[in-house]
Amino acid sequence: AQSVTQLGSHVSVSEGALVLLRCNYSSSVPPYLFWYVQYPNQGLQLLLKYTSAATLVKGINGFEAEFKKSETSFHLTKPSAHMSDAAEYFCAVSDPTTGANSKLTFGKGITLSVRP
Amino acid sequence: NAGVMQNPRHLVRRRGQEARLRCSPMKGHSHVYWYRQLPEEGLKFMVYLQKENIIDESGMPKERFSAEFPKEGPSILRIQQVVRGDSAAYFCASSRDRSTEAFFGQGTRLTVV
């Protein structure tokens, strides 16, 4: 069984400040890991994904995440927050051994607010 | 190239009625996944379908819920005799095959009154 933990439900940063959204996972096999963003009343958009290649993954909109097996973490970062980054962010994991890479287990999500 | 289309975007049903949610996958995609998002929760996997087949329904409630993906037409998630606890956002995602990335639709927000 797999699970994802996203501690806290809300993060607030100032515009231009570092964004750090934490994600820890539990998986009995080497997982695939994903970060999605959801704007109000919208669907989910993929920010980036880790699929066992480079451990530092770069995504869209300046976001990146680092897979750390020893810490079972996949934290999302962005050096400088922009007002348009305000949204809800979900970390997700899949079990590639099932062959169904898009059957995802999601965390509860974190709402990011950006202060002017 | 249209994305994953879900309709309706908003659906209101009275307790005891049936709800039908539709999902048209992206062109060339034959795999569909349904997820449910309850308030203040992340998305929960419900069912994974391929054309005319249910591959994995481990997340589907045992009663009142069913899903299909016919050879022609959209995938349908059907909820019979809805209850207030069924109020949620239901998202559909589609992928080309088992191993490629899935793309999400904008969701159907079901409200049971």
Question: B29 at the A interface (CB within 8 A)?
Answer: no
Question: A10 at the B interface (CB within 8 A)?
Answer: no
What CA–CA distances, in Å, run from B86 to B21, B32, B38, B82? Answer: 13, 21, 9, 6
If you average pLDDT over residues A30-42, what whole number do you get? 89
Flag if A101 and B107 touch (Cβ within 8 Å): no
Q: How many CA atoms lie within 13 A of B22 on its CB side?
A: 9
Flag if B107 and A108 touch (Cβ within 8 Å): no
Looking at residue A95, what is its pLDDT?
80
Size of interface A-B (CB pairs under 8 A): 67
Whole-number Å distance between alpha carbons of A50 and A52:
6
Contacts with B41 from chain A: Cβ below 8 Å = 108-109
DSSP chain A: --EEE---SEEEEETTS-EEE--EEE-SSPPEEEEEEE-TT--EEEEEEE-SS-SEEE-GGG-EEEEEGGGTEEEEEESS--GGG-EEEEEEEE-GGGT-TT--EE---EEEEEE-
Looking at residue B40, what is its pLDDT?
75
Both structure tokens of A107: 């965390």
Contacts with A9 from chain B: Cβ below 8 Å = 40
Flag if B101 and A45 touch (Cβ within 8 Å): no
Candidates A81, A72, A66; CA nearest to A114 is: A81
Residue B61: is its pLDDT beyond 70? yes
pLDDT tens string B2-54: 799 999 999 999 999 999 999 999 999 999 999 999 887 789 999 999 999 99
pLDDT tens string A48-95: 999 877 889 999 999 999 999 999 999 999 999 999 999 999 999 988
Residue B1: is its pLDDT beyond 60? no
More confident residue, B88 or A53: B88
Looking at residue B82, what is its pLDDT?
98
Candidates A91, A94, A93; CA nearest to A107 is: A91
Whole-number Å distance between alpha carbons of B110 and B113:
10
Contacts with A92 from chain B: Cβ below 8 Å = 43
Question: B49 at the A interface (CB within 8 A)?
Answer: no
What's B27's DSSP letter?
A: T
Mutate one of A33, A103, A108 to test the B interface: name it (highest B CB count within 10 A): A103
